[in-house]
Chains A and B, each alone.
Chain A
Amino acid sequence: MKATDISNPDYFHKVVDCQWACPAHTPVPEYIRLIAHGRYSDAYMINWKSNVFPGILGRTCDRPCEPACRRTRVEDETVVGKREPVAICRLKRVAADYKDDDIGAMMPKAPAKNGKRVACVGGGPASLTVARDLAVLGYEITIFDQDPKLGGFIRTQIPHFRLPESVIDEEVGFIVDIGNIEFKHKRIDSMKALLTEGYDAVFVGSGAPRGRELDVPGRQEAGANIHIGIDWLSSVSFGHITKVGKRVIVLGGGNTAMDCCRTARRLGGEDVKVIVRSGFEEMKASPWEKEDAIGEDIPILNFLVPKAVTHENGKITGVTFEKVKAEYDAKGRRNLVPTGEPDPHYPCDDVLVAIGQENSFPWIEADSGIEFDRWGLPKLSETTFASSHPQVFFGGDAAFGPKNIIWAAAHGHDAAISIHKTLQGEDASERPAPGMNIVSQKMGIHEWSYDNAPSDENRRKVPHRAKAEALKDIMAEVELGFDPDLAWKEAQRCLNCDVQTVFAANLCIECDACVDICPMDSISFVDNAEESLLRGTLMAPALNLTQDIYIADGLKTGRVMAKDEDVCLHCGLCAERCPTGAWDMRKYYVEMTQAEHACHKR
């Protein structure tokens, strides 16, 4: 194998599994350490800079970081029970909950206007991110939304018992308070008209606003009691709907279905069921959201395909389903085939349809210069988010279909870079490299400036409001968040994967001290070979091919140092036992470059 090029920012970035998995690449271990130190405002600002909505995401994020967490690979089930990641998402909320009241003073302010105007269509997370990144550069931003307040789906789709409106108001406020950002409560009906208004660029962050329809007999006849999930949630959010029938069926297995059923429980639904086509395991909803729904006495019935809505005198009586089972063909594709059992019928008073969302751009004219693909999505560059119209950029759900908030923030950052570079006359396809700051953590002979002893503790559970109380009040937040003590304990579980083991072959005397002390058998000194062979000759075979082997050559015996990054605890024992300082623990702070520093000429 070739020696590893550790000067490439991606190499050690990838070792920080959580940060690498995060669409916005938030420096997770850094803010977790700050939370452990009680520096909540600093932790908040790292998040705010990277993902814009720490308080919102700390409650609602899809958390791609958590399944990536190294703890899920290194925990010993016999010691800690179930292998679980650090509760990264809920620690983020701690930073938001306990930050200083005057944190607004740490936020940037808009400089003098630079004379360029950018329109953002849609007031959701993607547009807000673009607005924030560009407002600090002097752009004049106008955000259009059909709803009376900024926030988009964050505000209309997520029930307030999961995300209090005050949190949305605060974080939207941080962005608007930068200055140079104007909100217009106006639905944009024509892209062509908008383009004539003299904006230098238009960003489309209008989301995926159309809920998929239920197409079964009886849909029309019983229509008064059949609601499209996202529209219904939005009406609940704005107070237009305050009641639901006692018996409610929610169709669909995604997070919207989970929000619908839990909302229904709070609006008078006593017998609320979620019924899904797929199996329970394949449901799109996050496992913790399913858990929360089940915890509120909502059964989830699976392998049932809606067949017909039954009704009497124009009033809904229930839904008939067909029982199916999953069969897999030779290529591993799943087919749902009828089991032949009698069709079950579930009586109900209301049906909530949450079987998917779609993009919808009826307001973008065919001759506006923006091309669409055959799935109705805009043709975009995946790196710049630029459309076929030189002034129009997309992001969030409007770009590549429904995803989630953290993706919207990531798209927003990238689109802002593209808009800035384009408007400054630079090539938007040349993307800025991430910033990297490297600091040795050595304080003394055996002293490190981070807590290097790995914790054996289990993941902490976030305290919940008592169920009876929570179900009574639709505004009462269910999750209460970690208190500082629980947060500290949970923060200690972080393995500090950004503190990297850095090896200097010229200092190594090949004494094996690091090999002997490594608790995870990660380090080996072996004869060099092809990667597929070498992976089998290490102290412990390196079977996880998604994780790199760190190779250093130039040793006196001609062997190479091979470190399997997979299960390293970053405990620093290799560096402590190294007599020559060939190993050092260095913090690699990798930060994505945003629009502010993306241009060569400023």
Chain B
Amino acid sequence: MTYISKPKLHHPGLLKNAAGFTRRDYEGAVSTLCAGCGHDSISAAIIQACYELDILPHQVAKLSGIGCSSKAPTYFLGASHGFNTVHGRMPSVMTGANLANRDLIYMGVSGDGDSASIGLGQFAHVMRRGLNMVYIVMNNGVYGLTKGQFSATADKGSVSKKGLPNSDSSIDLVSMAILMGATFVGRSFSGDKRQLVPLIKAAVQHKGAAFIDVVSPCVAFNNHAGSTKSYDYVREHNDAVNFIDFIESRTEITTDYAAGTLQEVQQHDGSTLRLRKLNDAYDPCDKVTALNQIQKAEAAGEVITGLLYLDPLPKDLHENLNTVDTPLNALVEADLCPGQAALDKFNAGLR
């Protein structure tokens, strides 16, 4: 953490987006995480994505559980709604909030402990239900707040800072999310904003359950040789299958990745998502081969990143429940109690 708050002074050339805000307006309080924490880079990527999407801060709700990662929402979108829930219970609170007001953008931020251990059940069910949300796991493979014990996502055989190998199998949240029915699943790395920012932007625009697993090195407890979630390991083993090049109706994302073949995905709302493939054999719209490739990469010790699975025609919870378009919290008494005549008519229908 730092002793001084981030100065208000900013670059004189700082631009405003269409919503009238600068990137700095999407910041939150100064981070109290350890210096160099990957989570802060992910916060910065979220800030950048929201700025580029011209999002109005009051239309975002950010929710989190418990842990280092779950502290992060304090450090971005300082003018948005926030809810710090009970450990592992963020998905239920988010489901409730989403049911009450479907108009907000829901951003769930969680960690590997919060989502893969205590909250694994909630994680699975929120994906199944297809909640319209962006669910980001800041995944560092250790319990940082309790000094670096292995978490459930630590790879089997990886070595702790004290030198002990992990004997348990790891939970792969990406595969789980796909299996559970998430319709947008990606993985990225906190040290690669060129890949992460467009991925977050696409996830925000996805009308369904969007999940991004972001490998985020813990500089204090999991950034040593033998760790599979260190800056060096991820950089050496990063197997990026694609990156998002263009989202229709948005300004072009310029990036200097090597050019590959293009894949255009027509989405539910009619917009086009353009993927530039780095691995021609990878098709994120084919669930079976995608899962197959993910397993293969993991068996080879590679960290497969990119947009790993996309259902271009997702159905979200509200669609499944056939709720009205008006947010439930905006329904007035006249909508909810239409009167005796309406009740009589309804009752008659049951006779």
Using CB atoms and an 8 Å cutoff, list the residues of chain A in contact with chain B.
Answer: 73-76, 79, 446-447, 452-454, 456, 509-513, 515-517, 519-522, 527, 540-541, 543, 556-557, 567, 569, 571, 573, 576-580
Q: Quick check: is B295 within 8 A (CB to CB) of the other chain?
A: no
Tell me, in angstroms, the Cα distance from A525 to B35 when the chains sit together.
18
CB-defined contacts of B24 to chain A, threshold 8 Å: 519
B269 to chain A, nearest CB (A): 32
Interface residues of B in 13-66 (CB under 8 A from A): 13-14, 24, 30-31, 34-38, 40-41, 43-44
Q: Which residue from chain B places its CB closest to the CB of A447 in the assembled complex?
A: B3
Q: In the complex the two chains form, is B10's CB within 8 Å of A573's CB?
A: no
Q: Quick check: is B285 within 8 A (CB to CB) of the other chain?
A: no
Q: Quick check: is B250 within 8 A (CB to CB) of the other chain?
A: no
A499 to chain B, nearest CB (A): 14
Q: Quick check: is B8 within 8 A (CB to CB) of the other chain?
A: yes
Q: In the complex the two chains form, is B10's CB within 8 Å of A520's CB?
A: yes
B1, B6, B12, B44 interface centre (most CB from chain A within 10 Å): B12
A-B contact list, 27 entries, CB within 8 Å = A75-B9, A76-B8, A76-B10, A79-B9, A446-B3, A447-B3, A453-B4, A511-B36, A512-B191, A512-B193, A513-B36, A513-B40, A516-B43, A516-B44, A520-B9, A520-B10, A520-B11, A521-B11, A522-B11, A527-B256, A540-B13, A543-B13, A557-B235, A573-B4, A576-B2, A577-B36, A578-B36
Tell me, in angstroms, the Cα distance from A75 to B9 when the chains sit together.
6
Tell me, in angstroms, the Cα distance from A556 to B233 when the chains sit together.
12
CB-defined contacts of A509 to chain B, threshold 8 Å: 36, 219, 223, 231-232
Q: In the complex the two chains form, is B9's CB within 8 Å of A511's CB?
A: no
Tell me, in angstroms, the Cα distance from A454 to B10 when the chains sit together.
11
Q: Which residue from chain B places its CB closest to the CB of A527 in the assembled complex?
A: B256
Q: Which residue from chain A places its CB closest to the CB of B220 in the assembled complex?
A: A579
What number of B residues sit within 8 Å (CB to CB) of A? 36
Q: Quick check: is B349 within 8 A (CB to CB) of the other chain?
A: no
Tell me, in angstroms, the Cα distance from A102 to B256 when the chains sit together.
65
CB-defined contacts of B11 to chain A, threshold 8 Å: 520-522, 540, 567
Q: In the complex the two chains form, is B232's CB within 8 Å of A519's CB?
A: no
The DSSP consensus for interface residues of chain A is loop
Q: Which of A74, A556, A569, A579 contacts B35 (CB 8 A)?
A: A579
Q: Which residue from chain B places its CB closest to the CB of A456 in the assembled complex?
A: B8
Tell me, in angstroms, the Cα distance from A79 to B8 when the chains sit together.
9
CB-defined contacts of A556 to chain B, threshold 8 Å: 232, 235
Tell me, in angstroms, the Cα distance from A577 to B34 when the chains sit together.
8
Tell me, in angstroms, the Cα distance from A414 to B31 when the chains sit together.
50
CB-defined contacts of A573 to chain B, threshold 8 Å: 2, 4, 6
Q: In the complex the two chains form, is A513's CB within 8 Å of B41's CB?
A: yes
B36 to chain A, nearest CB (A): 3
Tell me, in angstroms, the Cα distance from A505 to B185 when the chains sit together.
35
Q: Quick check: is B217 within 8 A (CB to CB) of the other chain?
A: yes
Q: Quick check: is B338 within 8 A (CB to CB) of the other chain?
A: no
Other CB < 8 Å A-B pairs besides A454-B9, A511-B36, A511-B219, 16 of them? Answer: A74-B9, A452-B4, A509-B219, A511-B37, A512-B40, A513-B41, A516-B40, A516-B44, A517-B2, A517-B6, A519-B7, A519-B9, A571-B4, A577-B35, A578-B35, A578-B36
B9, B24, B36, B38 interface centre (most CB from chain A within 10 Å): B9
B248 to chain A, nearest CB (A): 25
The 5 closest A-B pairs by CB, nearest first: A579-B36, A516-B44, A453-B4, A579-B219, A540-B11
Tell me, in angstroms, the Cα distance from A347 to B1 when the chains sit together.
71
A440 to chain B, nearest CB (A): 17
CB-defined contacts of B31 to chain A, threshold 8 Å: 517
Tell me, in angstroms, the Cα distance from A456 to B40 when the chains sit together.
26
Q: Which residue from chain B places its CB closest to the CB of A519 in the assembled complex?
A: B7
Q: Which residue from chain A places its CB closest to the CB of B216 in the assembled complex?
A: A511
CB-defined contacts of B41 to chain A, threshold 8 Å: 511-513, 516
Q: In the complex the two chains form, is A510's CB within 8 Å of B231's CB?
A: yes
Tell me, in angstroms, the Cα distance from A567 to B9 when the chains sit together.
10
A520, A541, A577, A578 interface centre (most CB from chain B within 10 Å): A577
CB-defined contacts of A74 to chain B, threshold 8 Å: 9, 12
Q: In the complex the two chains form, is A540's CB within 8 Å of B7's CB?
A: no
B317 to chain A, nearest CB (A): 34
Q: Which residue from chain A places its CB closest to the CB of B223 in the assembled complex?
A: A509
Tell me, in angstroms, the Cα distance from A520 to B4 when the chains sit together.
15
B 174-203 to A, binary, CB cutoff 8 A, 1 in contact else 0: 000000000000000011010000000000
Tell me, in angstroms, the Cα distance from A592 to B344 when the chains sit together.
96
Tell me, in angstroms, the Cα distance from A560 to B237 when the chains sit together.
21
B229 to chain A, nearest CB (A): 13
Tell me, in angstroms, the Cα distance from A470 to B329 when the chains sit together.
70
B 212-252 to A, binary, CB cutoff 8 A, 1 in contact else 0: 00000101000100000001100100000000000000000
A180 to chain B, nearest CB (A): 50
CB-defined contacts of A579 to chain B, threshold 8 Å: 34-37, 219
B 287-318 to A, binary, CB cutoff 8 A, 1 in contact else 0: 00000000000000000000000000000000
Q: In the complex the two chains form, is B36's CB within 8 Å of A580's CB?
A: yes
A540, A578, A580 interface centre (most CB from chain B within 10 Å): A540
Tell me, in angstroms, the Cα distance from A541 to B14 when the chains sit together.
10
CB-defined contacts of A453 to chain B, threshold 8 Å: 4-5, 7
Query: Given A510-B191, A513-B40, A576-B2, do A521 and B14 touch, yes or no (CB 8 Å)?
Result: yes
Tell me, in angstroms, the Cα distance from A453 to B4 when the chains sit together.
6
Tell me, in angstroms, the Cα distance from A579 to B36 when the chains sit together.
5
CB-defined contacts of A75 to chain B, threshold 8 Å: 9
CB-defined contacts of A515 to chain B, threshold 8 Å: 44
CB-defined contacts of A510 to chain B, threshold 8 Å: 191, 231, 235
Tell me, in angstroms, the Cα distance from A522 to B13 when the chains sit together.
11
A594 to chain B, nearest CB (A): 36
Tell me, in angstroms, the Cα distance from A109 to B274 when the chains sit together.
78
Q: Which residue from chain A places its CB closest to the CB of B30 in the assembled complex?
A: A517
B36, B37, B217, B256 interface centre (most CB from chain A within 10 Å): B36
A378 to chain B, nearest CB (A): 44
Q: Which residue from chain A places its CB closest to the CB of B75 in the assembled complex?
A: A516
CB-defined contacts of A519 to chain B, threshold 8 Å: 6-10, 24
Q: In the complex the two chains form, is B191's CB within 8 Å of A511's CB?
A: yes
B31 to chain A, nearest CB (A): 8
Q: Which of A527, A543, A571 contacts B7 (CB 8 A)?
A: A571
CB-defined contacts of A576 to chain B, threshold 8 Å: 2-3, 35
Tell me, in angstroms, the Cα distance from A540 to B43 when the chains sit together.
19
